[in-house]
């Protein structure tokens, strides 16, 4: 729901005495997470689509990560071995791109100043499971039980102290960054100016906030 309080961080939500382990394929992100978390959690550099932990987990959680597997069926089949019998998983994935404000506004803005290639809805990408039925089918095919989804509509703050700074952040951090970087400077300037205007229309209490739809997909081992 829009305006709802964010969920508690994993350490706060986990039962007392839990051991929390995070995984990422990027050594830089693992190093950054380790420095930030201290003794609260440990982090391992690994490709979770292939890696097998020494012992199963009672809970698996992912926030906007499972949409990028090259072979999702194999990846979820592997993750099934990570979960202890009766254990639970919860994956957050973006809804349809048209309902994720910053993605829709960004793509529309860039498409107004240069040609943008059509996206493949089944290829690895942020809105691959905008229809959560695809992810539920994959989880069921991998042997998970009671797979279900819940839609959450929210308003997300965009980093940046001003609309111009928020626009610059969106342009630099999206999948559009690479093709835009190869465009003429005049095109880049027009894209930034137009997206700044868009961000200004979403200014609330001094922050740029855009609507988003998130799907929370859950299942049991």
pLDDT digits (tens, 9 = 90+) for 190-221: 999 999 999 999 999 999 999 999 999 999 99
**Interatomic CA distance for residues 176 and 69, integer angstroms:** 20
For the cut 70, the answer to whether the pLDDT of residue 5 exceeds it is no
* Mean pLDDT calculated for residue range 142-165: 96
**Interatomic CA distance for residues 83 and 57, integer angstroms:** 5
- Sort residue 194 into left (φ over 0), alpha (ψ -120 to 50) or beta: alpha
The pTM is what?
0.86
């Amino acid at each position: 729901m829009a305006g709802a309080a964010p969920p508690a961080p994993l350490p706060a939500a986990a039962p007392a005495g839990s051991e929390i382990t995070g995984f990422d394929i990027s050594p830089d992100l693992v190093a950054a997470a380790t420095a930030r978390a201290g003794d609260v959690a440990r982090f391992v550099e690994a490709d979770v689509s292939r890696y097998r932990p020494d012992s199963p987990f009672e809970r698996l959680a992912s926030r906007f990560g499972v949409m990028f597997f090259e072979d999702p069926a194999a990846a979820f089949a592997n993750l099934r071995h990570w979960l202890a019998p009766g254990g639970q998983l919860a994956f957050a994935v973006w809804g349809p791109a048209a309902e994720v404000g910053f993605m829709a506004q960004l793509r529309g803005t860039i498409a107004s100043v240069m040609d943008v290639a059509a996206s493949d809805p089944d290829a690895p990408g942020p809105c691959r499971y905008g229809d959560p039925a695809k992810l539920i089918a994959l989880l069921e095919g991998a042997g998970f039980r009671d797979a279900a989804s819940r839609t959450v509509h929210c308003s997300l703050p965009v980093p940046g102290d001003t609309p111009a700074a928020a626009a610059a952040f969106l342009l630099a951090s999206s999948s559009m960054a690479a093709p835009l970087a190869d465009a003429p400077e005049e095109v880049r300037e027009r894209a930034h100016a137009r997206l700044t205007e868009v961000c200004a229309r979403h200014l609330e209490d001094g922050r740029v906030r855009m609507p988003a739809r998130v799907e929370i997909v859950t299942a049991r081992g």
